[in-house]
Structures are given as structure tokens and as C-alpha cells.
Structure 1
């Protein structure tokens, strides 16, 4: 199921999938050939990600319990990892999309149906 994304209270017009079950978190984006649609994956709970086995780079937003961005990683290349111990969720986006949407540390992001 794809949901929409709010960035700092405004609709961002991109589709986001949710991964909140263990098997969804396990598979993540590995079976996704690209991130045109959906444009991202919201993983909860999650405070670290990897791109092992992936064929493309991603942007990663680490979020606190309120959906506030506490760390932003741009263009995380394949076969890399990143983490943020304070994070409660992560939002993996198509590489470059965080910049396009002007998502900054401290802003709040949320999903809508």
C-alpha cells in the first residue's frame, strides 16, 4: 500500500511504502528495481540501514518518535551502511529526492493515506 508524504506540513506528491513488519523490514528495497513509484520506503522501528545487494543509491532520513528528521544522509551508495542510534524510524528515498523536497534536519515528515 502506497501512502503520500507530508514534509513540514505540506504535501510532497510522492508515494511511500510502509515497512512495519519484520519481513517487510528484512526485504526493504531489495526487490525494487528503482524508486520511481513508489519513491521511498518508511521503515519502523529502524535506526540503521544498509544498501547491501542494491543496485542504486538512496537518500536516508532518520526520524525520531515524532517524525522529526534527526539525520539526513544523501546518496548512500550500494554496499554501504548508515545508522543513528536515536532514530525510531527511517525514510529511504530515491537518491536526490531529499534535496528536491528540501527536507532539512529538524523538520517533521509524516505519511497520509
Structure 2
């Protein structure tokens, strides 16, 4: 799916995977050595993240139940615990530098644009990160 900031129309990612099951939330991005531009992981429900088991910095976008940005973490390094921002109900993990480059700010609305059912029927349910 695509991740867009409504106010600016900026595209944060065009290949955002979903982690909506217990197993997918548990696995997250662990073991990945890189995260290409345009890729990310939407984790729901989720209050905060950690980067134990990761080998890269990530940006973390914290969203409330209405998909309003309530917190931002820039370049969270491997082997660290993230911040729990008040009101967070889901997070999006993105390549480091994505949020700064798009000038994302708390209070902005995020649009998660799902692909058509025909397109998603051919996708695997596990991440397809290169």
C-alpha cells in the first residue's frame, strides 16, 4: 500500500507492508540489513517499537486511531528501545531519513492507500523487501 501525508501530498512509501497479526508484529523488520526507499512496515496495534535484532537505523512514525501523527522518531539505531508517544495506536517503520526529507510534523494526517483487491491477491502475505 502507499503512505501519503495528506497536507503536503508527499509520498512516504509506495510499498508499505502490513503487520496486523501477532506473528507479523513480533517479527517486524528483524534480520533485515537494509530497507530500500519506498518500503516500510505498518504495525497495528502498536504503542512503541524496538530495534533489537535489526542491523539498520529506521524512522518511526507514530499514529493515533484516526491516522494523525502523534510522534516521530528519526534514525532510531539498532539495539534500542523507541519512545511510547501518548495516543499511539499504530506505527510505521520507514528507511532512516524518510521523515526528515518529507518534513513530516506531528498533527499531520496520514493516508494509507490500499491496493485494489486484484493486485493484492497476487502478493505474498510476508514482506517482499529486496
Q: Taking structure 2 as the reference length, what is the TM-score of the superposition? A: 0.79
Matching residue of 1:86:
87
Uncovered stretches (5+) of structure 2, i.e. residues with no partner: 116-130
Relative distance call for 1:38 and 1:22 in structure 2 (3 A) is: farther
Query: Per-residue displacement from partner, 1:52-77 (whole Å, max 9, x unpaired)?
Result: 01100111111100100101110100
When Rg is computed on C-alpha atoms for both structures, the one with the higher figure is 2
Deviates more, 1:25-34 or 1:63-72: 25-34
Deviates more, 1:58-67 or 1:83-92: 83-92
User: 2:57, 2:75 within 8 Å by CA — same for their partners in 1?
Assistant: yes
Relative distance call for 1:13 and 1:54 in structure 2 (3 A) is: closer
User: How far apart are the structure 1 equivalents of 2:111 and 2:18?
Assistant: 12
Structure having the larger proportion of residues in strand: 1
User: How far apart are the structure 2 equivalents of 1:50 and 1:16?
Assistant: 19
User: How far apart are the structure 2 equivalents of 1:41 and 1:49?
Assistant: 12
Matching residue of 1:12:
11
User: 2:12, 2:98 within 8 Å by CA — same for their partners in 1?
Assistant: no
Q: Which aligned segments of 4 or more residues in structure 1 are displaced greater than 6 angstroms?
A: none
User: How far apart are the structure 2 equivalents of 1:11 and 1:71?
Assistant: 18
SS for the counterpart of 1:50 is coil
Q: CA RMSD in A?
A: 1.6
User: 1:17, 1:38 within 8 Å by CA — same for their partners in 2?
Assistant: no
Relative distance call for 1:41 and 1:75 in structure 2 (3 A) is: same
Aligned length: 111
Q: CA deviation at 1:33?
A: 2.7
